[in-house]
Amino acid sequence: MKFTRRGFIQNVGLGTAAGVISGTSLLSPIINAQTREAAMAGVFDGGVIQLNQNESARGPGPKTMQAIHSAISKRIGRGYAPDYLRELQASIIDHFDVGADNVLMSTGSTPILQGTVRAFCGADKPLVTAAPSFTTSEQTARQIGAAVKVIPLDSHLNIDLDAMVAASIGAGMVYLCNPNNPTGTVHGLAAMEAAIREIVRRSPTTKILVDEAYIDYVDASVMQTALPLAKEFSNVIIARTFSKAHGMAGLRVGYGLADSGTLDEINSAWGMGDVNMIGAIAALTAFEDTDHIAWERQENSEIRAFTVGALNDMGFDVPESHTNHIFPNLKRPASVVRAACIKSGISVGRDFPPLQETHCRISLGSREEMEKAVAVFRAVLS
């Protein structure tokens, strides 16, 4: 069979060549990957508004974009020891007041999640996770044959901390996504601290991974980082990423914060990848640009209020979200909503069992995108 570059790109776009690339599926981000031809024509995402990946529609801030442009030079040819990476680590160390060996850099936070499960879970050391929640930890556990305990959310679609604590005895790891994906709900530091301390008391060898991917979208009066507990207990790990509020999903930069020995075990269990110099200078600039992240938080908050208000007007309940995504009860299967919306150029989220028959995750785009999306929602949900 003749195999051409153009044919391959077209087939991947249609999903028919998904099996050619390891690890992809019909819902893989590669389906929406940009091509040079489309970029030159000014067409992005095939003209579809992407409300399905929890990425920032606004991308990096102006200072970060300028830093990226300035760093693109022939210096890239000498990037095996990436420039700016040590500066990025130093900035993180200084900001969080931790030691140099308490930070583990990674290509996004996914390797942190995967490595933690591989390091600490097994057939006799279960993973405890919530449902629905972010599934990378659960998927990794099932891949390695580890036992999994899945704890339903409570009636308000919050992570049921009491039930997670009860299930933690003898577990290899407890995964706490706070803020939670897909619901956008959060637990404040007092509740998290009480739960973590109780897990440590009941099951001292169990690791606790707190995924704070969306924390930059949350007002400090609502929740704070669980890092103080990671400083106190060697079995608490914090995962962070630049893929969400910092708008750098395509650059793949993240990090873990924990006890040095714990991080060594994670790093030994699974490769963290190499943060490249463009990602490093972008992350360094974004991390220090607190004005932009405050603007991003406010912009997202206003867009979220508009979208939630519109759905409420249509008669749909939306759990209180503090992130760049919402999880409304649309009273019909998410698959039905997806199929209807895509016909009008709107892509919404995947299934999140066990609530896939009633709820659908909607990522928040730009103001213009959400105005268009709300009009589509009114039409397809009427």
- Per-residue model confidence (pLDDT) at position 42: 67
Q: Do 279 and 305 reside in the same domain of the chain? A: no
**What per-residue confidence (pLDDT) applies to 21?**
35
The confidence band for 20, taking pLDDT boundaries of 50, 70 and 90, is: very low
pLDDT over 70 at 2, yes or no? no
Q: What is the DSSP letter of 332?
A: S
Does 77 share its domain with 121?
yes
Q: Please name the residue that has the structure tokens 């508004």.
A: 49
Query: In the predicted model, what is the mean pLDDT of residues 261-272?
Result: 97
**Pair 165, 253 in one domain:** yes
The domain of 25 spans 5-59+291-380
Cα 178 to Cα 24, 77, 240, 353, distances in angstroms: 27, 39, 11, 18
Last residue of a domain, one of 241, 260, 288: 288
Same domain membership, residue 223 and residue 111: yes
Beta-bridge partners for 211: 177, 239
- Between helix 136-143 and helix 110-120 the angle, nearest 10°, is 40
Instruction: Check residue 77 and give its pLDDT.
Output: 87
- Is the model's pLDDT at 175 over the cut of 80? yes
Say yes or no: 355 and 274 in one domain. no
pLDDT per residue as tens digits for the range 340-378: 999 999 999 999 999 999 999 999 999 999 999 999 999
Supply the pLDDT for residue 22. Answer: 35
Total domains present in the chain: 2
Of 288, 317, 346, the residue that ends a domain is: 288
Percentage of the chain surpassing pLDDT 90?
Answer: 85
Do 195 and 297 reside in the same domain of the chain? Answer: no
Q: Which residue has the higher pLDDT, 78 or 228?
A: 228
**161 and 221 part of one domain:** yes
Instruction: Let me know whether 283 and 295 are in one domain.
Output: no
Residue 183 has pLDDT above 80, yes or no: yes
Q: Pick the more confident residue, 8 or 117.
A: 117
CATH of the domain at 320: 3.90.1150.10
Are 12 and 125 in the same domain?
Answer: no
User: What pLDDT does residue 159 have?
Assistant: 99
Is 155's pLDDT higher than 90? yes
Of 255, 288, 321, which residue is a domain's last? 288
Task: Tell me: do 186 and 146 sit in the same domain.
Answer: yes
> What is the distance between the alpha carbons of residues 97 and 270, in angstroms, rounded to a whole number?
26
CATH assignment of the domain containing 119? 3.40.640.10
The pTM assigned to this predicted structure is 0.90
74-120 tens-digit pLDDT: 988 887 778 999 999 999 999 999 999 999 999 999 999 999 999 99
Structure tokens at 179: 């803020």
**pLDDT of res. 203:** 98
Of residues 54, 58, 5, the one with CA closest to residue 29: 54
Whether 25 shows a pLDDT value over 50: the answer reads no
User: For residue 235, what pLDDT band results from cuts at 50, 70 and 90?
Assistant: very high
pLDDT interval class at 32 (50, 70, 90)? low
Q: What is the pLDDT of residues 312-329, one digit of tens each?
A: 999 999 999 999 999 999
Model confidence at 43, in pLDDT bands (50, 70, 90)?
Answer: low
- Residue 46, pLDDT score: 76
Q: How far is CA 342 from the centre of its chain?
A: 23
Tell me the one-letter amino acid at 156.
H
Question: What b-and-e string marks burial along 265-293, b requiring 16 or more CB atoms within 10 Å of the CB?
Answer: bbbebbebebbbbbbbbbbbbbbbbeebb
Per-residue model confidence (pLDDT) at position 314 = 98
Query: Are 106 and 67 contained in the same domain?
Result: yes
pLDDT-derived band of residue 273, with 50, 70 and 90 as boundaries? very high
Residue 259 CB coordination number (10 Å): 19
Torsion, CA 283, CA 285, CA 287, CA 290, rounded to 10: -150
pLDDT of residue 41: 72
Q: Can you spell out the DSSP letters for 273-322?
A: ----HHHHHHHHHHHH-HHHHHHHHHHHHHHHHHHHHHHHHTT-B-----
Tokens of 215: 């924390």
Which pLDDT value is given to residue 211? 99
Kindly report which listed range (5-9, 13-17, 219-223, 348-352) carries the lowest average pLDDT score. 13-17
Sorted by sequence, the CB contacts under 8 Å of residue 232 that are 6+ apart come out as: none
355 and 325 within one domain:
yes
To which residue do tokens 């050391």 refer?
A: 125
Give pLDDT, residue 36. Answer: 78
